[in-house]
Structure 1
Amino acid sequence: MPVILTNRITSKKSFLRSCNNRMMIRSAAGLAAGFCLRSGNGKGFYMIKSKYRWVMPSAEEHLVAKLSEELRIDRLCAGVLAGRGWTSLEETASFLKPDADRLTDPFEMKGMAAAVDRIRHALREGEKIRVYGDYDADGVTSTALMVRLLTSLGANYDTYIPHRSREGYGLNLAAIDLAAEAGVRLLVTVDNGISAVEQIAYASRLGIDVVVTDHHEPPETLPEAIALVNPKQKDCPYPFKGLCGAGVVFKLAHAMLGRSVLEYADLAAIGTIADLMPLTGENRIIARLGLEQLRSRPIAGIRALTKASGIKPEDLTSGRIAFSLAPRLNAGGRLEHADSALRLLTAATDEEADVYAAELDRLNGERQALVEQTFEEADGLWRSMRETDGFVARHAIVLAKEGWNAGIAGLVASRFVEKYYLPAVILATDAGTGLCKGSARSIDGFDLYAALTECAEWMEHFGGHQAAAGLTMKRVHVAELAARLDRIAQDRISQDDWQPKRRIDLSVSLSDVTLNAVDQLARLEPFGSGNPTPRIAIGNLRIRDSRTMGKESKHLRLTVEQSGTSIEVVAFGMGAHCDRLPPGMRIDLLGELTVNEWNGNRKAQVMFQDYRSEDLLFKDRRHEKDPLAALDLLVSEGASDLVVVCASQTGYREAMHRFGTTGVPIGLYSDMEDDPLTNAETAAAAERDPATASASEQERSHLVLIGLPDDEQGLRSLKAWLLPERGLELVTVLPDRTSETFKDEKQLLFPDRKHFAEVYSMCLKRGEWLDNPDGFQQETALQTGWPLATVRMMHEVFAELGFIAASGASRKVVNNPTRKPLEESARYRKAREIHEAKRLPVLSTDELHRWLQSCHNAKPQNA
């Protein structure tokens, strides 16, 4: 376990240990914590490290040129397509212009013909049909589409959506009993049912036939329903497997009515986008057609929902559906019941729809507050558990507690994935039944559904896919689930997968970012899962202006420039980064291209999401009258980031007296002499859990110098710590009021090559001489103005390089010596280092910043 300093550091060994442990953990945990010691383009180490691992695909230049020329698209747009694997001109053209004629015959889907026959039989016989839906946005839109279909067919039907908290996901026996009591002869499930083996067998015994329409992963044992319509069945020949629940109903409607039901694409698009289905293949066609309908011919429910969301139907995009409409459609099912969302989507009038939209908007606000409250409580529980178990390695999070709301478990699990980047399961416990119901979310590279399948013995019910799942289980098995999931995650998640990654479509120059290029990228819409908004990287940008914006300065706006071109870049929620991005700094940006429209003017803009920089942040505070008061403020702002190094014993004692119990490592330059990354005492720290080590244990990114070194040893130590593998981001220099700062100007000068040449020329003229302080060296000093010690050093360099021969006190110029650079002389290098140390404390701010940056740019150790 890393040493957390709670008392005074009294030796170099203790200072090194306190820093070493954190440095070793940074090396081991860099990927898990979202920091990469060496990343990106291979140019070197980044002082300010990117949050994400930037993944850049390669696109062949001839393919980019071909797509650009043949399809008449901007090269930037062509580069995105090529990087995403589009090679065929015909297929790419079809992608750019999705057409309803390309929708697949629904009868190619296994079970579709049987489902159509059974529903038509129910229509002919007047049997009562019950549509059994689900409470999320996909389930609600699926149910609403079935309502449209059955209404148009004149069916005798009703709907049933289970209560998320009381009943959980999918078919349940009590609901089947209710259906039997109501005289239901046919149950049609939407967005569920593929795993309901026991429940469908029970329904059959009660005389109820079941038609399943679903899109979730089928289990090994399938239910014996009248028809199973799910393109993911192993032997289903349907070519596109990515339909959501509403998409499967869209295909069922096509089969029932004998035509492409394009008027059903609106709700099918919402379900597809809300359920994070890949926006490729048929989903792209459905989403594109649906968005057109939502914008131009919205139903009453959509008009009301967009109004409640503060947007106009004509401005709807896949992003606005995902982040504005879908959360409100989900809110009813999460906190109360999904019936309100269903009634909204089936409302006949604007007045009726407005009532339900207002209710869902209110519930969404409550949901947001409840998610925040539950996450804080769950996070506290997780941290407490980590302390109790001694911070042993953990690779998955499983938490259960009475009083939590199962309806928001998935949102809370997503927050855990965002913060810790671990697979997370959040469960709400019912004290009366002893059951836990909740949701799970995963990270890239870990198949959550496959992992839960291996834990099926402890679950009453579960379903989902690679990235997300819902489950119900007994409280007594939670610990077993946690242990098993942890082992599975440890075995299957690779080292690289521990850092969240962002796929970059293109690396571009700022001159490539034009309004025309951004407009052409819109041809790739709708964006979403499987067809994300294109991300670009722009390297070597210089920040011209940096400022915050918005309420409470939460957002950030930069003006950046490159080769005479400038542009505004904006980042939401990153206002706190303003101090880390000062004017003059050079950065690489990762972001998305957008259009900024204001007062009728349109211009290209970058919405950036991540950045990195090889520049070292530097704050020169040598003007501070009270350095300890300044340090006090730095400690209060972030003690876990700091390492403090003092130039004098007096400064060290004062700092220790005031801050020795804060946990901040404090030492002298002499304490920094050894290499903290190779110290054997760090071995224990490397065994710590890389995935869940706290931030304070991972990072000491802020080096505070109280005074600058003025000798060789201190200079070498500081240079070593400035090397990029140390992971420093910021160096702050405070004054050491106890040290002598005055320097003789002559002592601060160092001869350059022409001065060495001048002195050597004098040696050539003299030919030979005796080495004594009052002789030729003194003459040279008086004639050149250099101190005698400097002249003596020059002579020693000439002797070492073989330009002068020495025999006792006799000195003689060597005829025709081999030419050698001054840097080959150890005496010259040592003299330069001594001069550098003496001059360092009196450098100007700009000079000192350049010196610090040059130390960072030096070749990394062991590189």
Structure 2
Amino acid sequence: MTQPQIRRRGGDAPFVDVHSPAELLARLYALRSGEAPPGLGALAPFAALRGLDAALETLEGALRDGAHLLVVGDYDADGATGTALAVRGLRALGAARVSYLIPSRFDFGYGLSPAVAEAAHALGPDLLITVDNGISSVAGVARARELGLAVLVTDHHLPGERLPEAAAIVNPNQPGCDFPSKDLAGVGVVFYLLMALRARLRERGWFGAGRAEPNLATLLDLVALGTVADVVTLDRNNRILVEQGLRRIRAGHCGPGVRALLRVAGRDPMRASATDLAFAAAPRLNAAGRLEDMSVGVECLLSDDAERASALAQQLDAINRRRREIEGEMKAQAETAVQALDLAEEGLPAALCLYGADWHQGVSGIVAARIRERYHRPVIAFADGGDGLLRGSARSIEGLHVRDAIDRVDQAEPGLITRFGGHAMAAGLSLRAEALEPFRARFAAVVGEMLGGVTSGPELVSDGPLPARLLTLETAETLRLGGPWGKGFPEPCFDGEFEVLQARLVGERHLKLRVAPPEGGAIEAIGFDQAERLALAHGRVRLAYRLDVNDYRGRRSPQLILESVQPI
């Protein structure tokens, strides 16, 4: 495991004059040029969203006509939460009939394709509403129109050269949109659309006479989960949405589905943090879309019955356990392939393209992320798509826009890639099996050019050393609930010198330490999946870590979550 270079954000002694957890939190906000998230009233106004008027006219007309609305969502956690949010929200606003369709990633692939449009038409809707997809579905929207179906696109992905000819498009990243928060997740776009629709219906006298105006804030648990799960940048707007959703979860005012997902993962909803959403709830939700049918996840989020939600969450947990087993096998094979490549080429190329004949395409993205983390290279993991094509999941490193890199390959060698799309840090593509080797070579060359021929090692940004007086349970609790932390507003990471008092392995894969800072006072530390660092853990070491709460059999204590162990 490559040791990261540690760069300090806050200098050598940013907390020397800090004496309380509250002071520490304020200083950490300042280091991030941020603040505690304000209330919902500080959200960017929805009026700046391009295409909103057309979308509202379409939806208002559909509600007044008693139309059948069909939500077509994506098969990841953002798509699932956005789908559940759209269904719940539209029903609360008075829609006569709302249903949903989550196309299988294995049968249909991503987005509103012509085949998905035909499958949707068979369900008899009057209006299709895409969630977390659709901005690149030019052919699918055209096919829907041929079938007599209007389409309202809600998405947050980057558009291609052509936009679909939909009845309306709401996407903060479409050309000409002045909405300031370009980092809304798909579920966030849906929440904004619902807020705008409620305001329009209120103006038009829709509510009253037996039709109550809903409190859409009751749905913010879904917005928080989907936003965190999609790893979008937590700009000010997204931090407000996530923080408000977490407040509701902790107060016991969330849906049974979100509560069940946290509990089945062993997390206490009353103390939920963004980390719990990211690493406990989201993986269990995502597992359904990776291995089976995301409808199980959506049904969990839609259920108002606690027992049914719990049963569905347990089903998702079982699927996630199977996903972990598959991931472990694939990761081991990928490691072997990378090591062989390193020996054959006397050094790794600027980008890695890996393929396993029996790899599961639903898990390839996770494997790409794991290899990326280990070797600090952009990685694409390919699996057989079952239709003569290879499906690749790409994960990038900071400083490289992986979708743009794939686009450059496509421009240089048209026809090599069958289809692609995605973000700066993650993308997907399809190509013929015989195109893998020429693509691998071209992609590595393009990445090398874009990175200037220099592939840097991993870097870890620390907030600086934390005084021993702050290594307390109170500080850990304050940091856990003081976020939300995430991409663009990183969770606090500290580094400093410690004496190793005890070192051992737990669960074969995890490094367990008992350490003491120079000022004295021992504290427990754990490094997940860091067994190979056991040999480094003796004497004086420099640790990079996050301070968290260890809740073991009802006993809560501070604990260091290790990011790096370096001998001194």
Fold match, TM over 0.5?
Answer: yes
- Give 1:479's match in structure 2, choosing from 437, 456, 472: 437
Counterpart of 1:79 in 2: which secondary structure?
A: helix
Matched, 1:204 2:145: yes
Matched, 1:115 2:73: no
From the CA coordinates, give the structure whose radius of gyration is larger. 1
Counterpart of 1:414 in 2: which secondary structure?
A: helix
Q: How far apart are the structure 2 equivalents of 1:575 and 1:62? A: 32
What are the residue-to-residue correspondences of 1:374-393 with 2, within 5 Å? 374-383=330-339, 390-391=345-346
Q: How far apart are the structure 1 equivalents of 2:292 and 2:24? A: 47
Deviation readout 1:108-166 (Å, 9 max, x if unpaired): 11112211111112222333322110111110001001110222222333211111112
Residue in 1 that maps onto 2:209: none
Cα gap change, 1:57/1:454 in structure 2, threshold over 3 Å: closer, same or farther?
same
What are the residue-to-residue correspondences of 1:709-788 with 2, within 5 Å? none
Residue in 2 that maps onto 1:459: 417
The structure with the greater share of residues assigned to helix is: 1
Cα gap change, 1:189/1:566 in structure 2, threshold over 3 Å: closer, same or farther?
same
Residue in 2 that maps onto 1:272: 227
Counterpart of 2:183 in 1: which secondary structure?
A: coil
What are the residue-to-residue correspondences of 1:141-160 with 2, within 5 Å? 141-152=81-92, 153-160=94-101
Deviation readout 1:298-320 (Å, 9 max, x if unpaired): 32222332332223322322111
Superposed displacement of residue 188, structure 1 = 0.7
Cα gap change, 1:154/1:506 in structure 2, threshold over 3 Å: closer, same or farther?
same
Paired residue type of 2:434:
V
Superposed displacement of residue 391, structure 1 = 4.5
Structure 1 unaligned blocks of 5 or more: 1-32, 35-50, 87-91, 615-863
Superposed displacement of residue 514, structure 1 = 5.1
Residue in 2 that maps onto 1:283: 238
Paired residue type of 2:24:
L
TM-score by length of 2: 0.88
Paired residue type of 2:62:
A
Q: Is residue 526–residue 559 contact of structure 2 (8 Å, CA) maintained in 1?
A: no
Matched, 1:326 2:266: no
Q: How far apart are the structure 2 equivalents of 1:343 and 1:73? A: 40
Superposed displacement of residue 576, structure 1 = 5.1
Paired residue type of 1:462:
F
Counterpart of 1:499 in 2: which secondary structure?
A: coil
Residue in 2 that maps onto 1:607: 561
Q: Is residue 116–residue 140 contact of structure 2 (8 Å, CA) maintained in 1?
A: no
Cα gap change, 1:116/1:461 in structure 2, threshold over 3 Å: closer, same or farther?
farther
Cα gap change, 1:326/1:521 in structure 2, threshold over 3 Å: closer, same or farther?
closer
What are the residue-to-residue correspondences of 1:574-613 with 2, within 5 Å? 574=530, 577-582=533-538, 585-595=539-549, 604-613=558-567
What are the residue-to-residue correspondences of 1:402-801 with 2, within 5 Å? 402-430=357-385, 433-456=387-410, 457=414, 458-493=416-451, 497-511=455-469, 513=471, 517-522=475-480, 524-539=482-497, 541-543=498-500, 545-548=501-504, 550-552=506-508, 554-562=510-518, 564-573=519-528, 574=530, 577-582=533-538, 585-595=539-549, 604-614=558-568
Superposed displacement of residue 549, structure 1 = 5.9
Counterpart of 1:163 in 2: which secondary structure?
A: coil
TM-score by length of 1: 0.59
Paired residue type of 1:57:
R
Superposed displacement of residue 435, structure 1 = 1.7
Q: How far apart are the structure 1 equivalents of 2:319 and 2:550? A: 32
Q: Is residue 164–residue 406 contact of structure 1 (8 Å, CA) maintained in 2?
A: no
Q: How far apart are the structure 2 equivalents of 1:101 and 1:294? A: 19
Q: How far apart are the structure 2 equivalents of 1:386 and 1:603? A: 43
Superposed displacement of residue 519, structure 1 = 4.9
Q: How far apart are the structure 1 equivalents of 2:38 and 2:16? A: 21
Paired residue type of 2:242:
A
Residue in 2 that maps onto 1:244: 185
Counterpart of 2:369 in 1: which secondary structure?
A: helix
Residue in 1 that maps onto 2:31: 83
Paired residue type of 2:194:
A
Counterpart of 1:459 in 2: which secondary structure?
A: coil
Q: How far apart are the structure 1 equivalents of 2:72 and 2:469? A: 55
Counterpart of 1:398 in 2: which secondary structure?
A: strand
Cα gap change, 1:263/1:515 in structure 2, threshold over 3 Å: closer, same or farther?
same
Aligned length: 547
Counterpart of 2:366 in 1: which secondary structure?
A: helix
Superposed displacement of residue 528, structure 1 = 1.7
Q: How far apart are the structure 1 equivalents of 2:507 and 2:445? A: 44
Q: How far apart are the structure 2 equivalents of 1:419 and 1:603? A: 30
Matched, 1:168 2:168: no
Residue in 2 that maps onto 1:735: none
Structure 2 unaligned blocks of 5 or more: 200-213
Q: Is residue 463–residue 492 contact of structure 2 (8 Å, CA) maintained in 1?
A: yes
Residue in 2 that maps onto 1:645: none
- Give 1:215's match in structure 2, choosing from 145, 156, 160: 156
Counterpart of 1:407 in 2: which secondary structure?
A: coil
Cα gap change, 1:340/1:508 in structure 2, threshold over 3 Å: closer, same or farther?
closer
Matched, 1:371 2:327: yes
Residue in 1 that maps onto 2:302: 346
Q: How far apart are the structure 1 equivalents of 2:480 and 2:536? A: 33
- Give 1:253's match in structure 2, choosing from 194, 200, 221: 194
Residue in 2 that maps onto 1:316: 272
Cα gap change, 1:471/1:578 in structure 2, threshold over 3 Å: closer, same or farther?
closer
Cα gap change, 1:356/1:514 in structure 2, threshold over 3 Å: closer, same or farther?
closer
Tell me whether 221-230 or 129-138 shows the greater mean CA deviation.
221-230
Residue in 1 that maps onto 2:9: 57
- Runs of at least 4 residues of structure 1 off by over 6 A? 59-65, 597-602
Cα gap change, 1:155/1:449 in structure 2, threshold over 3 Å: closer, same or farther?
farther
- Give 1:337's match in structure 2, choosing from 293, 306, 313: 293
Paired residue type of 1:467:
M
Deviation readout 1:792-845 (Å, 9 max, x if unpaired): xxxxxxxxxxxxxxxxxxxxxxxxxxxxxxxxxxxxxxxxxxxxxxxxxxxxxx
Q: How far apart are the structure 2 equivalents of 1:61 and 1:538? A: 11
Matched, 1:138 2:78: yes
Paired residue type of 1:449:
R
Paired residue type of 1:417:
R
Q: Is residue 571–residue 609 contact of structure 1 (8 Å, CA) maintained in 2?
A: no
Cα gap change, 1:447/1:260 in structure 2, threshold over 3 Å: closer, same or farther?
farther
Paired residue type of 1:290:
G
Counterpart of 2:521 in 1: which secondary structure?
A: strand
Q: Is residue 220–residue 241 contact of structure 2 (8 Å, CA) maintained in 1?
A: yes
Cα gap change, 1:376/1:516 in structure 2, threshold over 3 Å: closer, same or farther?
closer
Q: How far apart are the structure 2 equivalents of 1:440 and 1:483? A: 15
Q: Is residue 163–residue 337 contact of structure 1 (8 Å, CA) maintained in 2?
A: yes
Tell me whether 112-121 or 177-186 shows the greater mean CA deviation.
177-186
Cα gap change, 1:581/1:252 in structure 2, threshold over 3 Å: closer, same or farther?
same
Q: How far apart are the structure 1 equivalents of 2:14 and 2:314? A: 54
Q: How far apart are the structure 1 equivalents of 2:562 and 2:8? A: 16
Paired residue type of 2:7:
V
RMSD across aligned positions (CA): 2.9
Q: Percent identity?
A: 32
Superposed displacement of residue 291, structure 1 = 1.2
Deviation readout 1:73-102 (Å, 9 max, x if unpaired): 755334323322x2xxxxx5xx31421111
